[in-house]
A and B are shown apart, each in its own frame.
Chain A
Amino acid sequence: MPPGITTLAADTPTLSAANTGFMLICTALVMLMTPALAFFYGGMVRVKSTLNMLMMSFISLGIVTILWVLYGFSVAFGTDSGGVVGWSGDYVGLSGIGITELWDGYTIPVYVFAAFQLMFAVLTPALISGALADRVKFTAWALFIALWVTIVYFPVAHWVWGAGGWLFEMGVIDFAGGTAVHINAGAAALGVILVIGKRVGFKKDPMRPHSLPLVMLGAGLLWFGWFGFNAGSWLGNDDGVGAVMFLNTQVATAAAMVAWLAYEKIRHGAFTTLGAASGAVAGLVAITPAGGSCSPLGAIAIGAVAGLLCAMAVGLKYKFGYDDSLDVVGVHLVGGVVGSLLVGFFATGGVQSDAKGLFYGGGLDQLGKQATGVFAVLAYSLIVSAVLAFALDKTMGMRVPEDDEVSGIDQVEHAETAYDFSGAGGGTGSRKAQPAAVAAHTAAGPAAAETKNTKVDA
C-alpha cells in the first residue's frame, strides 16, 4: 500500500471508472488465490486428508468474509487509535458508507477498497493451514481463524497499511503484504505447530504429495491471482507504479523458480515439479513487499535470493524437529522476511516512494525500518498465535484423536473421500435410504425376486 498517493490532476480525486473496474478485476483475482492455495496444499498431502486440506482454506472464505463486514474493515482501516488499531462506526457492518464515497485520497469507492482488502484477510489465515495438515479438528480450526483474524490480522493490517498505523507512519515499505500477509501467516504457523506438535509418523513415515499435478495447478493459479494481489495494491493506474509491480511480480517469480530448481538439481540430483511450484511461490512471496520499489533487475536478484534461501529453509524442519507440514514457515515466513529486508537494499527511490536502499546510496535507514517491521510482525504473530492455539488446545482440543489422524481426517471430519477410482464403486453400499422405499421393497420382496429369476431363466 502506497504512502501518499500522487493524484495527477486536482487536489480532490474523483471517481475513476477505469481504476474502479481494474480494482474489481484485481479483487476477483485475489479471491481466486484462496481456492488456488487450497489446491496447492491439497495436492501436497496424502490422499486421506485431501478434503480437509481443501476445506481449511475454503472455510476462510466463509468466516473471514462475514467478520470483515461486521468489524474487520473497521479495525484495520478505521480511524487510528495510538497507531495500533482502527475503529470507525461507519465501517461497522459496512453500513455507513455511501456507494460513491471515495477511499480517502484515491479514485475508487470505499466499497471497492473494502472488497479488495477483504480478499487479503481471507487468504492470510488460509496460508497458515498448510503447516497444520492432517491433524486439526475442523471446529477448532474454524474458531482459530475467527479469533486469529480478530486479534492478529486486522490489527496488523492496520499497523502496516492503515492511516496512522505505527509501521505505516514509520515508513516501512510493504507494497502488498510481505509483513502483513506472509510473515504474519508464517509466524502464526510456527507458533501453532510448536503448541500442537507433529503429525503421527513425522520423519518416520513417507509423507509424499498425493497429486503433484494438483500442486502445479494451484501454483499456476496462485501466480495468476497474484497479479491482482500485487498490481492491485496500488489501487489505481494513474502513475505507472502498479504496472512496474505487475512486471516485477513476473520477473521475481521466474527467477525464484529457476533458482530453486538449480539448487535442488545440484543438491538432490533432480528438477522436481514440487520444486518448481515451491520456487514460484517463494518468488511471489518475496516480491510482494518489494516489487513497488525495485527495478526489474532488482526483482531478478530478490527472486533468486528468495528461491535459494527458501529451498534451503524447507529442510530445517527435519533438523529442528518441528512439523511445518507443507512448509508455510520455510516458504512464507522465510520468503516474506527475505523480500521485506531486501527492500532495504534494492529500493531505487524512483518508483513507489523516494526511499532508497543500501545499493542505491540510501544507507542503512530503510533497511532499519524494514527490519523493525519484520521483527514486530513476526514476534507479535508468533506469540499471540501460540497463546491462542494453547488456549484452544486446553479447552476444546486442537487435534483429532490419533486413531482418526492415522486412518484419515477426511472421513472423520467431513464424512467424504476425495477420490473413487474403483470400478466397483469403492465398496460403497446402497444409499442410507428413505424408510418408505425400504418398506415397499421388503413388502414386495420375495415375490418380486421370484418373478425376476423366472424371467432370466426363460
Chain B
Amino acid sequence: MKLITAVVKPHRLDEIKEALQAFGVQGLTVTEASGYGRQRGHTEVYRGAEYTVDLVPKIRIEVLVEDEDAEQLIELVVKAARTGKIGDGKVWSVPVDTAVRVRTGERGPDAL
C-alpha cells in the first residue's frame, strides 16, 4: 500500500475529490494546513505596520491506496490540483506497512 499526500490550494479540493471518486477511491482525509514553498507569502498592513505573512493557507489531502493504483492516482491528483500558477503545491507518496479498519479488524488492502 501507499499513502498519497497532497498539499494543495484550498479551492482545488472539490476537483480532486471528484477525480478520486470517479476512480473509485472510497475515502480520504482532509486537514487545513498552512505553509510556504517558493511562492512565499503576502503582505498585510495594520495601522501602517507592514507584516509579511509567510504561511499561506493550504489543504492537506491524505489517501491510502493499493500499490498498483498509486502512480495513476498521483497523476489524477496533480491534474486536478493544477492551476498553472505559482503555489499549486506538492503531491508525494510513501510506502505503508499496515492498515487496519477499526470496526472490523480487516487488514491490508481489505481495509482500504
> Which chain A residues have a beta carbon within 8 Å of chain B's beta carbons?
206, 208-209, 264, 267-270, 272, 274-275, 278, 311, 314-315, 318, 327, 330
Contacts and interface: CB of A to CB of B under 8 A. Distances in A.
B48 A209 contact: no
Contact of B48 (A206, A208, A315): A315
B106 to A, nearest CB: 17
Contacts of A278: 47
A206 B55 CA distance: 12
Contacts of B46: 208-209, 272, 274
B47 A275 contact: yes
B50 interface: yes
A315 B50 CA distance: 11
A272 B52 CA distance: 16
Interface string B33-44: 000000000001
Q: Which of A206, A267, A314 has the most CB of B within 10 A?
A: A206
A209 B53 CA distance: 13
B51 A206 contact: yes
A351 B72 CA distance: 81
Contact of B50 (A209, A268, A274, A311): A268
Interface in B1-58: 44-53
Given A269-B45, A311-B47, 19 more contacts: A206-B51, A206-B52, A206-B53, A208-B46, A208-B51, A209-B46, A264-B45, A264-B48, A267-B48, A268-B50, A270-B45, A272-B46, A278-B47, A314-B47, A315-B47, A315-B48, A315-B49, A318-B49, A327-B47
A165 to B, nearest CB: 35
A331 to B, nearest CB: 9
A268 B53 contact: no
Nearest to B52: A206
A330 B51 CA distance: 20
A324 B49 CA distance: 13
Interface residues of B, number: 10
Nearest to A314: B47
B48 to A, nearest CB: 5
Interface in B51-74: 51-53
Interface of B: 44-53
B55 to A, nearest CB: 10
A359 to B, nearest CB: 31
A394 B52 CA distance: 38
A239 B84 CA distance: 69
9 contacts: A206-B51, A267-B48, A268-B50, A269-B45, A311-B48, A314-B48, A315-B49, A327-B47, A330-B47
Nearest to B46: A274
B102 to A, nearest CB: 13
Nearest to B47: A314
A274 B49 CA distance: 11
Contacts of B44: 208
Nearest to A311: B48
A448 to B, nearest CB: 23
Nearest to B49: A318
B28 to A, nearest CB: 18
Contacts of B51: 206, 208
B23 to A, nearest CB: 29
Q: Which of B47, B51, B53 has the most CB of A within 10 A?
A: B47
A367 B46 CA distance: 34
Nearest to B45: A268
Contacts of A330: 47
Contacts of A267: 48
B47 A274 contact: yes
Nearest to B51: A206
A330 B45 CA distance: 17
Contacts of B50: 268
Nearest to A44: B46
Contacts of B52: 206
A455 B103 CA distance: 15
A275 B47 CA distance: 6
A198 B47 CA distance: 18
A269 B45 CA distance: 9
A272 B48 CA distance: 10
B88 to A, nearest CB: 26
B32 to A, nearest CB: 11
A283 to B, nearest CB: 15
A264 B50 CA distance: 12
A270 to B, nearest CB: 6
A260 to B, nearest CB: 9
Q: Which of B45, B46, B48, B50 has the most CB of A within 10 A?
A: B48
Q: Which of A267, A272, A278, A330 has the most CB of B within 10 A?
A: A272
Nearest to A316: B48
Nearest 3 CB-CB pairings of A with B: A206-B51, A268-B45, A315-B48
Contacts of A209: 46
Contacts of B49: 315, 318
